[in-house]
Structure 1
Amino acid sequence: MCKKPRINFSSLFGLLLLLLSSWAIAHELHEYNYRDILNSLAAIPKTRLSWGIWLTAFGYLVMIGYDILGFNYINRSLSWNKIAFTNFISSTFSNTIGFALLTGSAIRYRFYANWGMSAVAIAQIIAFANFTFWLGMFAIAGLTFITNPLTIPTQLHLPFTTVRPIGIIFLLLITIYLLGSILIKQPLIIHQQEFRFPPLPISLAQIAISSLDWILAAAVLYVLLPSNTSLSYLDLLAIYLLAMFAGVVSNIPGGLGVFETVVLLFLSSKISAVAVLGSLLAYRGVYYFLPLLLAAGLLGIYEMNFRTDLGKHINKL
């Protein structure tokens, strides 16, 4: 008996957002040609590109803290170089390809299992790292949206006129999480899965590390924007966080299209749209594709060494 094909509504929704975003970008840039965009990209000073690369490197270094805290949370240990290697590979692939629970999780399982970690421990680390990612988003976006409430463009069709209500919701979630760390000592059972709040020092470290990660990521884009603009870093940070939130929720790899659409909607009144897109292309190259090339190279070297060692082990048997 043939089974009816199942419709993946999450994928369809992501595809729809990608199509809408592509249309919005094309509409915004219809009066320019690709040479204008390439010229804007080439006009970015090398010193700013260098700053972008260094900030990216620092950002990926900070991300290692996600897994280090995860091992601390489950009371397990592994050498820092193995944790750093695994985190970098998984972070670059999940950031660029998207679907972090599939890409980053599969890579973490592949490496940590080879190094003797149990499936349960790996699952706990994966859940902890993904949860930490959102804690930083909620914390830094909550503070930024309240202190610097951007006016939301009507094109986004949101029920709010500013981002302040979103910031309040985010900070309430952070407050609930911290209160849980202080007050709830017994594990919670959610959908037959056990969840235990970390001790308060770990919870605070989660928020601090993830917030720094988001701050550095936004700084990469900021240094790549044209310097002859009055846009402040805090303004850009609020725009970046809103655009990234939309991109991550969309499930489109790297938020491609959705992220650019939101940034263009906010910045096109202050900076020419073609210059913004040139900076966004540079940002994707520096923050996503350069680390991905490095991670792919490291992964290839590891796999070749792993197969060589495995072959030697089999020959000895």
Structure 2
Amino acid sequence: MLKSESPPNASPAKPVEAELGQALPAAAARPLVRYTKLALRIVPVILLIAAFFVLRREFRGLSWTAVARAMDGWGHAAIFGALVLAVLSFLLMGVVEWLGLRWAGKTLPWGVAIAGSFLASAIGHAIGANLLVAGAVRARLYDRHGVGLTQVAAATLFNGMSFAVGLGALGGGGLLLASTAELSATAIPVWLARAAGVLLLTGSFGWIAICALRHGKPLKAFGRSLSLPTALDAVFQLILGVVDNGIAAGIIWILLPHGMTSYASFVGAYAVACVVGLISSVPGGAGVFEGMISTLLPDAAPAPLAAAFLGYRLSYYLLPLVIAALALAGDTLFRRR
């Protein structure tokens, strides 16, 4: 670094242009930061209000009797299948957890990683602010195993990126593989579905390319640096993320009447609904997620669709949350004793 020299008794005055050059960007950045914070507060409210009106329109006149009748039509096989898919999804999250901890420099036993992932994911899914809440739960659980906060943050980011690239690849593949007739049954124009599919797949596979090209060269932004996973770890993130999101989408799809919509077109709508639900910042995307899928599947019968939503929330959100809450309460009592 070059330093300018000045007389010993002279005050190190800065040029006026330099002062203006430092002050103007800071002054110009303040409105941008203010508008960004305002948008983050307004957008979730707008999405929640829009979801309310969409659900009111889609399910107007729908009675609980009709929904209960649709739930009776599931059959034992569909209920058992939904529960099995939920268990498989959380197990896959545990595998991603183990890989993320290993990448962060801490290898834990499989049982510890799967248990920690289940508790963090079950609570984070239901409460919202998934990265923050899940990270806090991980920090509480892993401190006894010598996992530092930096390693917890790295593992949480690894999990989040696995979910993102997996969701993008699954949704993009579904939009590209769905036939024109299948897409015509949705509210997504065919040309938009194909373009969105290419964009999503490009982003997902682009992550692998970035990790391969930038391995050993950390990304630097906002005064911080971030080391990227290896290309092989990125491939594992993509594969596990696709399978995990595909299983989660299958929980709803398996509870829908046979032939209502193809799986390929449904996962495209599911991916879009997940993204909008995350943007809304509503816990679990409740209401926003359902409203988006209802909009994207206008030909779906309201009663079976509402019943499938209830089954999805019960098996993938409420039941894991209850189990995780009881497990955390038991762990707290055990540690105090």
Q: TM-score, normalised by structure 1?
A: 0.87
1:204-219 alignment, distance < 5 Å:
204-219=235-250
Gaps of 5+ in 2: 1-33
Query: Kindly, what percent of the aligned residue pairs are identical?
Result: 23
> How many residues are aligned here?
297
CA positional deviation for 1:161: 5.4
Indicate the SS of the match to 2:192: coil
Distance in 1, matches of 2:270 and 2:55, equals 17
CA positional deviation for 1:303: 0.9
Maintained 8 Å contact 2:177/2:264: no
Q: Which structure would you say has the larger RCO, counting Cα contacts within 8 Å and 6 or more residues apart? A: 1
Give CA deviations for 1:8-36 in whole Å, capped at 9, x if unaligned.
Answer: 64243212211211111111222322322
Q: In structure 2, do the counterparts of structure 1 residues 42 and 15 end up closer, same or farther at CA, with 3 Å as the change threshold?
A: farther
1:153 — aligned with what?
A: 187
2:207 — aligned with what?
A: 177
Asked whether 1:26 is paired with 2:60, we answer no
Maintained 8 Å contact 2:187/2:297: no
Maintained 8 Å contact 2:168/2:271: no
2:115 — aligned with what?
A: 85
Maintained 8 Å contact 1:137/1:211: yes
Please, which of 298, 303, 314 is the counterpart of residue 327 of structure 2?
298
Asked whether 1:285 is paired with 2:314, we answer yes
Distance in 1, matches of 2:82 and 2:149, equals 37
CA positional deviation for 1:212: 0.7
Distance in 1, matches of 2:220 and 2:284, equals 32
Q: Which amino acid aligns with 2:170?
A: I
2:160 — aligned with what?
A: 130
2:23 — aligned with what?
A: none
Give CA deviations for 1:22-55 in whole Å, capped at 9, x if unaligned.
Answer: 1111112223223222332233212211110011
Distance in 2, matches of 1:252 and 1:134, equals 18
Indicate the SS of the match to 2:130: coil
1:59 — aligned with what?
A: 89
Distance in 2, matches of 1:52 and 1:200, equals 33
1:75 — aligned with what?
A: 105
Q: In structure 2, do the counterparts of structure 1 residues 182 and 32 end up closer, same or farther at CA, with 3 Å as the change threshold?
A: closer
1:1-317 alignment, distance < 5 Å:
9-148=39-178, 150=183, 153=187, 162-184=192-214, 185-227=216-258, 229-269=259-299, 271-308=300-337
Give CA deviations for 1:218-260 in whole Å, capped at 9, x if unaligned.
Answer: 1111111123x35222222222122222212221111111111
Between 1:32-41 and 1:211-220, the stretch displaced more is: 32-41
Between 1:205-214 and 1:78-87, the stretch displaced more is: 78-87
Maintained 8 Å contact 2:187/2:296: yes
Between 1:183-192 and 1:205-214, the stretch displaced more is: 183-192
Indicate the SS of the match to 1:194: strand
Distance in 2, matches of 1:235 and 1:176, equals 23
Distance in 1, matches of 2:235 and 2:296, equals 32
CA positional deviation for 1:214: 0.5
Distance in 2, matches of 1:86 and 1:222, equals 28
Maintained 8 Å contact 1:145/1:163: yes
Between 1:295-304 and 1:14-23, the stretch displaced more is: 14-23
